[in-house]
Structure formats: C-alpha cells, structure tokens
Structure 1
C-alpha cells in the first residue's frame, strides 16, 4: 500500500513532533510500502526520515490569503507532477489541505481520508469563530472516511455539520511508549529547586487555553500555601505575562519559576523532574498529548473531567479526576501528595494503559485498517 499524506507544515519541530511520530509509525506498518508526504517545510529539512518516507515540498508563504492560495495551488501542481500521483490512498491532516486533497482525489481517482486533529471553538474570540466556520466548510465535504481524534468533536460539531456518523472513525493520537519509558535526566532539573517543596511542572506552552488551565493550578496551589509547600515550574508562551500578573496578585512569586523554550524532545526531562503532575484542563481537550506523555512516563496525574478525559481514564485507577474548580484541585493535590501508594498505583496503571491502548504502533494499525476499508470500498 502506498499512502499519500498532506499536512500543512512538516516536520513542525526538528527534533521530533507528534506528526512525525504519526507519519513514521504509519510507514512502519507491515502493509505500508511507501508514504509520500506533501507539506510546506517548517522549520527546516534537518530531521530523521525513514527510508520508505519521501517528502514533496511546497512553498510556505506566511501572508494570510496569498499564502493559502499559493499553498493550495502548489499542492495540486506537485500532487499531479510528483511521485504523489502514484499513491493508492490520500490522507489529508486538518482543514488547510482539504481543497487540494479533494481535487487531487478527483483528478487522480484516489480515495480520500480526512484526519481531524482539532476543531477551533465556535465561541469566544472572533478569529476562533472564523476558523471554526472554515473548518465546518472543509470537514463537511464528502470523504471516503473521516478519522477524528476526539469523540467530543464528533458529538459537538461533526454531527451538527451533517457528517455521516457511519463514515467517522474515532482514533485518538498515539504516543511512542517505548521512548517515554526510557529514563531521562530529570534529576538534574529537580536539583535546581527546593528539596523541601513539592515540584509541579506545567510544561504546556502558554497560549490562551493553557494559560487559563495554569491559572487554575496556580489558584489551587495558593490555597495550600500554609498546608503544603509547593513550587510550580510553568512553560513559556505569548500569554506568560498575563499569568505572571496572577502570580503577583496571589502573592506566589516565591513559589513559581519559569521554563525556557526547549525542543519538543526535551519536554520529557522536565516531566520526569516533576514530583506529581497536575493538568486541570478548563477547556475540552482531545486526547491531549501532554496528558499522554505524563501517563506514559508513569507519573501520578491529577486532571479534570473535561472533554475526552473521563472516556480515556478511570478516576482512582489511572489518575485522580476532579471538576475544574480550585478547591477540588487543591484537595486532590493534598490527597495525592500524602499517599505514596496511590502515586505508585496511578503511575503503574497509567503506563500500562498507554502501552496496551494508545501506543503509536496500535494507533497506526487502526489508521491503516481505515485505508484498507476505503481501498476495498467498505466502511471502517
């Protein structure tokens, strides 16, 4: 089987990214002979590529409307004139390449699968609403099969957009469990912080939704200032200054430090340094990569009952799951810190769950099975 994948940018990060893991794991499946990727190069061409993965590059133009036009026309031209025209099935990732993918599917007479990783909210900022409308148009097109990372997105959006449920397969993102089972040098980071304080690392990039989640963690930690000594280490991002205002308001300056920008591959080192993990989502996440990383590393996790969380994890078995309220998050922190056996239980169970259900190899196998179905004219 020869698979053609169209993504907006590739490889996203030089030293590894989720899209790279996905592409490489699909290429490693026994049924897949070759993967041909079409994408704009970002940030550079310096990355590992398996021998049966080839990349067809298209220009990256950052001017909004012009960039979209150039990207789409380039995909169509390169798809017709490169080795991409010999693939058996086309898989578009996200909304941007849908138009080009649909035209190539028609011109090359190839079945097309659409993978939906994330859908912008239809409430809140004007930009989110506009892109949500664009996604509605793109994802509402007719595909041979749709792969959606999130049951929440299917119920909240796709069902209302007229997408046939019989054509949708919910297949979450996977994670390289072998990579995250390896020891990292987290102790070198842990040693930089007070030994008499519980270190909680929040390594997510500080854009708006994550900033609100970090603020909930900060508020919960402020309630425990006199009860349990905590120290938070939070990730960088364009909304970090807003978070710092909350740090000052809550008088938590001595209890919060800030991560530098680090490559994708160095994030596990920071996760390993954390004594416990607290991810109190205030929005509806999909199968969040950050959550899977922590679970795969066997870290004891506290998270909130939002989005996919309760479908993936069982409270008290894989993680502590609470409502997104500062009092509940604070109580869970106290409970977990004071119960070492519970920490060990959650960590071991979470690691086992990731290996048995969410390894990138298992997710790739399910994805290739979808390709099989569309090539055979069947529904997945």
Structure 2
C-alpha cells in the first residue's frame, strides 16, 4: 500500500512530532508514504522515517497559495502509483480531489481543527467554506481528531469518523511522585511546555497572572519554566514578566526535543493549561494525564470531552484569581483523592488516546478505501 499525504508545513523537529510518529508507524508496517509539504522551519534536521518519500514545495509568503503550488507534483510517478490520497488539513483537499478524479483512487481527509481561535466572522467563514468544499469533493472518509468538532460541525455526515491523535503510552513506573503534600509549600514548580504562538502566548500570560495572584493570596512562591523557539508572542510574554516584576520566578529555556517533553511535564508539581480557544486534542494535556499529573485546564473544544471535572482533572476559567483558588483547592486534597484522580486520568488516556491503537484505526480506513476503490 502506498499513501500520498498532503500536509501544509511539516514541522521538522529533530526528534519528530505526532505526524512523524504516524508516518513511522506506517513505514514499520510496510506501508509506503509520500509526503507533499513545505519544510518548516527551514534548515531543520529531517527525521528518519522508513518507507517515506519527501516531495517538497517551495516556501511562499502566501500560505493559501500552497493549495495550488502542490499541483507541480500531480503527474509525478509517486502520485500516479499511490493507492490513496490523504489530505491532512484543508490545503491539500483540492489536490487530493483532482488526483482522485484523474487516477481513480480513493481520497481521505484528516481534519485537525475547524476554524481558528478567534471565533469571529473569518473563523465562521472558514468553517462554512471547509464544509462546503468537503461536500463537493466527497472524500471516502473524513477522519476527525475531535469528537467536539464531530458533534458541532459534522454530526450527520455518514463519512465522518472520529479517530483522535494519540500519544505513546509509557510504563507506569516512570510516572512522577509529587514532591509536595499540600498547600503552603515553599515553591510551586510549573512547566508550561507549549510553543508561544498565539493563543498559547495568551495562555502563558494568564498563567503568570494566576501564579502571581496565588503567591500574594496564599503566601507560596512559584517557579515557572517557559520554552521559547522564536514564536510571535514571546516578546509580549517577556514584557508581561517585566511588568509583573516576576523575572526571579520565571525560567526561559529553549524549546525541547519531542522526546524530552515528558520529562519536563513530569517535573511539574501541577499542570495548568489556561487555553483561551477551542483546541483539538491537546497533546500537552494528554502527556500530563499519562505521567501522573493533576491537571487544571479551561473547558474549551475537545477538552470538554477529555476531562470529567473532579474525576480525572479540573476545569478552570481564565480568571487569575479563580485559577489561584483552584490551585489552592487541588493542593489541599488528600493523598488518596489525588491518587484516585491521577489514576483516572491515566486510564482515560490509555483507553482513548493510545497512539498505536489509533494508528491501527487509521490504517483500517486506508485499507478499506483501497478495497472499495
């Protein structure tokens, strides 16, 4: 089986990313993949992936032009000999549709997110356009990462199925045992392991405000570690740290290799993710739940289907004082209560977000599409 994947910008993290894990899984199961993509960022090291052919598209200031720039490969031998075309996100849909018509193969779309974080007019227009295009192109299957988006935008679409991205399930023995036993600890350690593009930068600022409030209200200091990699809101975060006079409480590190994220999350005393938008499945949330963290997170998007408040995590608002109060409340829980919540969190991830199981579900969709071609 050979699959052509069309993905706007392949993030070339030296140790990989979710898509790299997915492509590696396919390669290890004797599936050949072709990836049409822009390199992002330039100059990064290519992850080693078995049975993968790269077809790079040149960078351009106009992101939308990617929709048309990929057509340079329409007659390429790798495309002609592929068994199925797979658009990851919106920008490869037209290419996959045209290739399907020319070569009489099946076409599958994976929907990561729908709309954008603003929730404004342009976001609604984007949702309408995406749904309209998918109706016209009629892919064999639409793989949704989010049950939230299925319920909201694709509820009655017979070809839409939910297969969320997953994470590698690690052994329970490496889960962290918290170094604290309640409120009043000398210093609360927090790692916010997110790239600080909008709106994650906004979340980092909210977290800073909440920790400052917690410090003043409950008399406990904190140490917050942020990870920078040249994103567009980092300077705004730095300016806010200075406004709060919080330089002594914040550590700034270079962004981590993919396989080092778990260690950073595990070294936190608690995980706080005050998102201000409706994300698809948050990998940082899943990683925290898996390694034995108590998680506090805003109730947006897919998060509302992952977290059961008080059972496997806690919902928070974006109000700094409310977050500070929730931190105090969670730290004051008994050891038995904390262990029960952390165990429930891990079980939730094992049941629904095991990457190997979800990769297998994707494979079955592709195999079925080829049989029905």
TM-score by length of 2: 0.84
Shift in Å, 1:55: 1.2
1:34 corresponding residue in structure 2: 31
The aligned length equals: 358
Where 2:265 maps in the other structure, the secondary structure is helix
- For residues 45 and 99 of structure 1, the distance between their equivalents in structure 2, rounded to whole angstroms, comes to 29
Structure 1 pair 124/223, CA: closer, same or farther in 2 (3 Å)? Answer: same
Conservation of the 8 A alpha-carbon contact between 1:95 and 1:139? no
Specify which of 274, 284, 302 is matched with residue 280 of structure 1: 274
- Is 1:96 the counterpart of 2:96? The answer is no
- For residues 331 and 177 of structure 2, the distance between their equivalents in structure 1, rounded to whole angstroms, comes to 19
2:71 corresponding residue in structure 1: 73
Conservation of the 8 A alpha-carbon contact between 2:38 and 2:59? no
CA deviation vs aligned residue, 1:151-201 (integer Å, no higher than 9, x gap):
333344456xxxx611111211111113x86859999xxxxxxx9311011
- For residues 221 and 332 of structure 2, the distance between their equivalents in structure 1, rounded to whole angstroms, comes to 12
User: What 5-or-longer segments of structure 1 have no aligned partner?
Assistant: 188-194
Conservation of the 8 A alpha-carbon contact between 2:109 and 2:142? yes
Structure 1 pair 318/27, CA: closer, same or farther in 2 (3 Å)? Answer: farther
Structure 1 pair 272/128, CA: closer, same or farther in 2 (3 Å)? Answer: same
Conservation of the 8 A alpha-carbon contact between 2:191 and 2:225? yes
Please tell me the root mean square deviation across aligned C-alpha atoms, in Å. Answer: 3.2
CA deviation vs aligned residue, 1:205-251 (integer Å, no higher than 9, x gap):
11111112122212221221131222211222321221233333334
- Is 1:154 the counterpart of 2:146? The answer is no
Specify which of 338, 341, 346 is matched with residue 346 of structure 1: 341
Structure 1 pair 121/46, CA: closer, same or farther in 2 (3 Å)? Answer: closer
1:193-342 to 2 correspondences below 5 Å: 196-226=186-216, 227=218, 228-236=220-228, 237-339=231-333, 340-342=335-337
Indicate the larger mover: 130-139 or 236-245.
Answer: 130-139
Structure 1 pair 314/28, CA: closer, same or farther in 2 (3 Å)? Answer: farther
- For residues 109 and 62 of structure 1, the distance between their equivalents in structure 2, rounded to whole angstroms, comes to 31
- For residues 128 and 60 of structure 2, the distance between their equivalents in structure 1, rounded to whole angstroms, comes to 21
2:16 corresponding residue in structure 1: 16
Indicate the larger mover: 264-273 or 281-290.
Answer: 264-273
Shift in Å, 1:66: 9.5
Where 2:225 maps in the other structure, the secondary structure is strand
1:365-380 to 2 correspondences below 5 Å: 365-377=360-372
Where 1:224 maps in the other structure, the secondary structure is helix
Structure 1 pair 359/230, CA: closer, same or farther in 2 (3 Å)? Answer: same
Where 2:254 maps in the other structure, the secondary structure is coil
2:181 corresponding residue in structure 1: none
Shift in Å, 1:312: 1.4
CA deviation vs aligned residue, 1:104-128 (integer Å, no higher than 9, x gap):
1111111111001123328468986
Conservation of the 8 A alpha-carbon contact between 2:117 and 2:277? no
